[in-house]
Structure 1
């Protein structure tokens, strides 16, 4: 099973750390293991670099984009997508500070959620701490100065 936590990163941090997403990954991983004073410090750092999750807008977007899909189910604020061939399944729940996506099987179901979310916000960062993966839902385009 894969578990992704999606955070909205503040614009200035997202553009400054483009290409160095591993720094964010290490902060979140350190926060997961931390206790006591270190936990408080990393919590503050995370709240400083992230935006609050626009919960209502995310719910509206998911309903609007996926409600006509036969493989989509919404129940008690949790959303489930299952691939037509039943080889892939993903669930999404919206929290106050992040979105949690849990998936198993192939990547089709989780990709459905990623595609919807990437259209809504520019700086969603997906972190899978268990599998040591991190990446932007919508890669940031580098500005080229002439």
Structure 2
């Protein structure tokens, strides 16, 4: 099973750390594995750089993008699921205020459907897969060139 955590990074931090996304990965990794006394400092940093998800906006974006798919379901407690035809794959997205959790099985298509839909919510969404050490923006951020 592939597991992702998705964070909404504040725009000023997203632009400042563009190209240095490993710093975000390291911060989130330390939050999940660090020692207790270090964890509180890391958690405060994460709270500072991330924004809260509006559950209403999240549900609205996902429903608008995916309601026409037979395989899409909205469950209680902010749980959204997609199951591909012929049991090729399944993905489940659960939501908390500061973090979305995506679990996927089978084909990568199921999680890709969620990633594509979430891009419409905000461009500063950052996904992390600790097990495979993968991380990145759901929608690449365009860095402005201020000096020509």
**Matched position secondary structure for 2:69:** coil
Aligned residues: 146
CA contact (8 A) 2:8 2:99 kept: yes
> What's the offset of the Cα at 1:143?
2.0
> What's the offset of the Cα at 1:23?
0.6
> What's the offset of the Cα at 1:64?
2.0
Summarize the alignment of residues 45-124 of structure 1 with structure 2, pairs less than 5 Å apart: 45-76=45-76, 77-124=78-125
Structure 2 unaligned runs (5+)? none
Q: What is the rounded CA distance, in whole Å, between the counterparts of 1:73 and 1:83 in structure 2? A: 12
CA contact (8 A) 2:61 2:120 kept: no
Structure 1 unaligned runs (5+)? none
TM-score, L = length of structure 2 = 0.94
TM-score, L = length of structure 1 = 0.95
Q: Deviations over 1:27-82 (max 9, x none)?
A: 11111112322010000010011111122110121122212211111111311111
Off by >3 Å, runs of 4+ in structure 1 = none
Q: Determine if the alignment matches structure 1 residue 133 to structure 2 residue 127.
A: no
